[in-house]
Structure 1
Amino acid sequence: MIDASIYPSSWEVCPVGEAGEAIVGQQRSPDTTHGNGLLPYLRVANVQDDALDLNDLTTMRFTGAAREKYRLRDGDVLLCEGQSRELVGRAALYRGEPEELYFQNTVIRFRPHSEILPEFALIVFRAYLYSGVFSEIAKSTTNIAHLGLNRFRSLPFPVPSRATQEAIVDTARSIQSSIDASLSGLASLTYTAERMPADMRDLALLGDRPIGNPGSVDPALSCKWLAAADVVPSDSPIVYGIHQPGPDINDATGVPYIRGQDLRDGYIAADSLKHTSAEIAEQYSRAQLSTGDVLLGIIRSLRVAIVPEELDGAHITQGTARIRPGEEIDSSYLAHWLRSGSAQAWFRSRLRGINMPRLNLRDVQELPVPVRKIPDQIRLGQLLDIATEALEQIVEDANASVGRLRALERDAVNSCAYGAVAHAITKRVAPDRQKDLAQLAVSRIKASSSMANATPKPRKRAASKAAPRKKVTLQSDTNSVQLLASLSRAGHPMTPEDLFRDLELEDSAIDSFFVVLRKLSHEGKITIHRPNDSDVHIERIP
């Protein structure tokens, strides 16, 4: 828990629940997701750090009373109520666009008191995220942490004078604008540097020429075109590997094998390799690897890598194709061709499937390959190696700079919320009246809170005998049929949190919930998407 003594001495402190109104949004249920009058709402995936992602809004129906209660207003602060522990409480500010927008019960809306600037509240909550305040009070259910509305309301909230808040907001905004501009520049640099190698390979290997047909000769390029199946030895055709590797063998008898996810852009993540038994490896001896073999991912990713000497004798799975260069082709040259923009586009045009797009081996075998004299191949391969390594270093340096900027951003937010910057601004702004102004603000806040608590609540009408109120009974567990039915009703990918709530499960059912998820995933009935490090989407496979 945060120690209130870290705030400047002239500031006042009150609970978050008095500094503003904090509520969670409407629960999503089958009754609210069908029919007319569906309206857009925010869920956890839409609330990013200091930004709302409005590109993928989902909809549900809000009744008249719910529309009034859950409609957002300009200046509302949104926080993730349920997230991974390090991201729970992630906060952003709603600035009035789009004009009509609502929020789900996985999100907390904080509507600050008139004495609190919304942007100052956002700074405080971002500081609580970065300093671990939110993760400390959160309660976890398996891999989902919940901030808890009552726990959130009980946190201390700093209240400086209005003038001090304005000065802090101005300073924080200036710092954030500079950081955002630098991050944008680095993102543009990274985007360009990551795409240059493919274009550079096209220029070096094709010039302005199109891909030729196997069996043809291109005098302008001093090359002949062969199908990939014809550049490998006759006794080592293009193949993929093990179908079922079995359990990971951790002792010295295990044989390493390379999966699609072990392929990186240009190399193999050797530290993450799993091992199969010698008996299974022997069954797939035709796909055993040798130094210099070129590997191509054929499921989802089209990454390319060359087998290094230390992985001589390893194996691959069915998600990877092995292309062993024959006498007419150099390994590095072939790998650069497979990674070129033209070859990658050729492959992508032949991918099959939606959830798990893949290439057939026939597609790989039919790829046209420009075959030059071996010395020319080696020279081009070496030039492209040097150029791509330089570009990769630019990307690595840019990513390191992004990391440093993110650390600077976290330090700046903490400093503006209640650290060195906040203390310096407090001393500079109306030093003689700071305490009185802060006390006046808190007294107004507490007076508003007291009035709200004293306001008589409208009496609830007795339920009609003809239409008794439906009692919701939370379930202690779930099964495959219920889970698949829920995904079918939704008609779109769902987060684990949304799916768990839609099934109306007790917290104690979390273990059986994930057991069913894993079972359906292994059976190929659902797909689990991970678009980034923090988000998870579950989709039913038709």
Structure 2
Amino acid sequence: MMIPDAFPEAWRFCLVKEAGETLVGQQRSPETTSGPADDLRHYLRVANVRDDALDLQDLAEMSFDSAARERYRLVDGDILLCEGQSRELVGRAAMYRSEPDELYFQNTLIRFRAHREILPEFALLVFRAYQHAGVFAEIAKATTNIAHLGLRRFQELPFPLPPRITQEAIVDCARDIQSSIDDALTAMSNIIDRAIGLPGKARDLLILEGAELGEPGKVDPNAQVTWRQAADVVAEDSPIVYGILQPGPDIDDGSGIPYVRGQDLQDGFILQDQLRKTSQSIAQRYERSSLLPGDVLLGIIRSLRVAVVPQELGGANITQGTARIRPSAHVDSDYLAHWLSSSAAQGWLRSRLRGIDMPGLNLRDVRQLPVPVRDLSTQRQIAEALNEVTAAQQSVLRDAQSATGQLQGLERELTGSCAFGEMARWITRRTAGDESESLSSLILTKVKETAAKQRNKPASRSRRQSSKNRSKRISLKSSTTPEEILAVLQEASGPLDPEHLFRQLSLADSAVDSFYAALRELKQLRRLEVARPNDTDVKISVAE
């Protein structure tokens, strides 16, 4: 954890609660979600707070009465930190900069409003440095899958107090550095986005040659293509199957049989180093799904990844989350794998995914997938060309992802260095010099005086009334109903992912089973629409 000894020697420090006002936002409840229409206001939640940036594209609404508007309205320079988030992201911070003009915040966020002697930009830099260095992660308390920063724990952290002239110089320096890093990260992101989409487009171009996806039985004489179902392009004695239902504990005594799960498929390859092993007796019971070199594997739970079985995995097996497709002598393994990975085939398969929390394919759908079949020599020529494309793409991706990781590491290091590290020490000497200690002490005195006045300030009538009524605050619920889920979705400004929907319902962790049971019931009743923009994300909305 960050300790005062890590701050420049000439600086003084106080506690976060003395450096500024801290406040947790308004909680969603039946009262705030069903209040008068005139009280509806846009507000920020965790999904809107990125590192050093607010995402204002998807603002939700809830009711803020006049007292709540006065209490929770943001002003220019307010800093928002994620109170509840995954441990590595908890405390992620960004600043509100007066856009839009009227905006509020939810109780999943903590607002920090800096003391007049502290530049808000400097405070943001300090909090970003804390988050990058793991200070917030260290003090956070974790539930099942979310870590909570906690207002009181946040308030008790030390906060550095450099002279004002030093704060201004630090902010200018940090912004110049951040701008250069942001430009470089944007360039790397653009390269990665284009590289990711390249193989799918190349597969569509070389395999389909501009034609549409055909129906099984259709013959295209111009392209010399016959469309067949996937079930008709496999070896006669090897139908499309999935594998072991319960592989049991991992066998690590050298006698185990390796098996492939959906998560073991990546970028067209099988991650052999992470394969688990099942017992020989279980593998024998599922001999029908054992593997041969050249078999094509397709993930059928959540991800639709594809890979070809290499020589060294002959005799291995698969799980129920993976389908084995053994091409006949008339179909090339690489060609079939490229077709399964094409944008056209992936879109066809993705449209048939079923389920919300664990979307999957039925083998019936896999068997019905249209496959364009050419003569074997043409298949191999196309596969060789696509192998070259994917190899080049992987090289570009590795380089761009490596550069991105280095830039992000540099960003973390420089954020801490500017906030209170070596860069801060150098700037302190260049700006305040010998007066650094006295100027920092002066700020500390002013901060302490203001904090003391706030502590001694008589509680207002509204605050006393609020204290008396604390027992009426809404607590997290242990269960939910389909009707409550529909009500939240109907009030949302757009589709919600399951985790966001769970938070909007103000549910405790123990309500997970009830939550997903209600989702399944609504899905069966066709009251929900489920969209999957990619292999991992799920967006839920009310069916029209």
What TM-score comes out, normalization by structure 1 length?
0.84
Structure 1 residue aligned with 2:420: 418
For 2:276 and 2:396, locate their aligned partners in 1 and report how far apart those are by CA, in whole Å: 31
Indicate conservation of the 8 Å contact 2:357/2:516, yes or no.
no
Structure 2 residue aligned with 1:509: none
What whole-Å deviation, never above 9, does each CA across 1:196-221 have from its counterpart, x for those lacking one? 11111222223333344444544543
Q: Where in structure 2 are the equivalents of 1:76-225 lying within 5 Å?
A: 76-141=78-143, 143-225=145-227
Structure 1 residue aligned with 2:21: 21
State the 1:365 CA deviation: 3.0
Q: Where in structure 2 are the equivalents of 1:359-508 lying within 5 Å?
A: 359-459=361-461, 469=469, 471-472=471-472, 481=479, 487=485, 490-491=488-489, 495=499, 499=503, 502-503=506-507
Which residue of 260, 264, 275 corresponds with 2:266? 264
Task: Report how many residues are paired.
Answer: 523
The verdict on how the C-alpha distance between 1:463 and 1:447 changes in structure 2, with shifts beyond 3 A counting, is closer
Which residue of 327, 336, 341 corresponds with 1:334? 336
Q: Determine helix, strand or coil for the equivalent of 1:334.
A: helix
Q: Determine helix, strand or coil for the equivalent of 1:335.
A: helix
The verdict on how the C-alpha distance between 1:5 and 1:263 changes in structure 2, with shifts beyond 3 A counting, is closer
The verdict on how the C-alpha distance between 1:431 and 1:196 changes in structure 2, with shifts beyond 3 A counting, is same
Structure 1 residue aligned with 2:246: 245
The verdict on how the C-alpha distance between 1:281 and 1:58 changes in structure 2, with shifts beyond 3 A counting, is farther
Indicate conservation of the 8 Å contact 2:84/2:147, yes or no.
yes
CA RMSD of aligned residues (A): 3.8
For 2:392 and 2:284, locate their aligned partners in 1 and report how far apart those are by CA, in whole Å: 40
For 1:382 and 1:203, locate their aligned partners in 2 and report how far apart those are by CA, in whole Å: 14
The verdict on how the C-alpha distance between 1:129 and 1:281 changes in structure 2, with shifts beyond 3 A counting, is same
Indicate conservation of the 8 Å contact 2:481/2:514, yes or no.
no
Structure 1 residue aligned with 2:512: 517
Q: Determine helix, strand or coil for the equivalent of 1:150.
A: helix
State the 1:520 CA deviation: 7.0
Indicate conservation of the 8 Å contact 1:486/1:499, yes or no.
no
| Identical amino acids, percent of aligned pairs | 52
Indicate conservation of the 8 Å contact 2:251/2:279, yes or no.
no
Structure 1 residue aligned with 2:526: none
For 1:433 and 1:470, locate their aligned partners in 2 and report how far apart those are by CA, in whole Å: 48
Indicate conservation of the 8 Å contact 1:292/1:306, yes or no.
yes
- Could you tell which deviates more after superposition, 490-499 or 184-193? 490-499
Indicate conservation of the 8 Å contact 1:30/1:502, yes or no.
no
- Could you tell which deviates more after superposition, 41-50 or 249-258? 249-258
Aligned partner of 1:23: which letter?
A: L
Aligned partner of 1:20: which letter?
A: G
Q: Determine helix, strand or coil for the equivalent of 2:42.
A: strand
Structure 2 residues not aligned, in runs of 5+: 490-495, 524-529
Aligned partner of 1:46: which letter?
A: N
- Could you tell which deviates more after superposition, 198-207 or 346-355? 346-355
For 1:224 and 1:150, locate their aligned partners in 2 and report how far apart those are by CA, in whole Å: 68
For 2:360 and 2:480, locate their aligned partners in 1 and report how far apart those are by CA, in whole Å: 30
Q: Determine helix, strand or coil for the equivalent of 1:502.
A: coil
Q: Determine helix, strand or coil for the equivalent of 2:98.
A: coil
Indicate conservation of the 8 Å contact 1:495/1:538, yes or no.
no
Structure 1 residue aligned with 2:492: none
Structure 2 residue aligned with 1:59: 61
State the 1:451 CA deviation: 3.0
For 1:461 and 1:180, locate their aligned partners in 2 and report how far apart those are by CA, in whole Å: 43
State the 1:296 CA deviation: 2.0
Q: Determine helix, strand or coil for the equivalent of 1:289.
A: coil
Indicate conservation of the 8 Å contact 1:295/1:321, yes or no.
yes
What whole-Å deviation, never above 9, does each CA across 1:430-484 have from its counterpart, x for those lacking one? 43544443333333333333333333322469989xxx95835998x986x5587
Indicate conservation of the 8 Å contact 1:487/1:540, yes or no.
no
Aligned partner of 2:19: which letter?
A: A
What whole-Å deviation, never above 9, does each CA across 1:281-325 have from its counterpart, x for those lacking one? 555443332221112233433221112233323333443332211
The verdict on how the C-alpha distance between 1:219 and 1:19 changes in structure 2, with shifts beyond 3 A counting, is same
- Could you tell which deviates more after superposition, 114-123 or 362-371? 362-371
Which residue of 294, 297, 315 corresponds with 2:296? 294
- Could you tell which deviates more after superposition, 297-306 or 90-99? 297-306
For 1:448 and 1:375, locate their aligned partners in 2 and report how far apart those are by CA, in whole Å: 81
For 1:541 and 1:241, locate their aligned partners in 2 and report how far apart those are by CA, in whole Å: 35
Q: Determine helix, strand or coil for the equivalent of 1:41.
A: strand
Structure 1 residues not aligned, in runs of 5+: 506-512
For 2:401 and 2:275, locate their aligned partners in 1 and report how far apart those are by CA, in whole Å: 25
State the 1:404 CA deviation: 0.7
What TM-score comes out, normalization by structure 2 length?
0.83
Aligned partner of 2:367: which letter?
A: Q
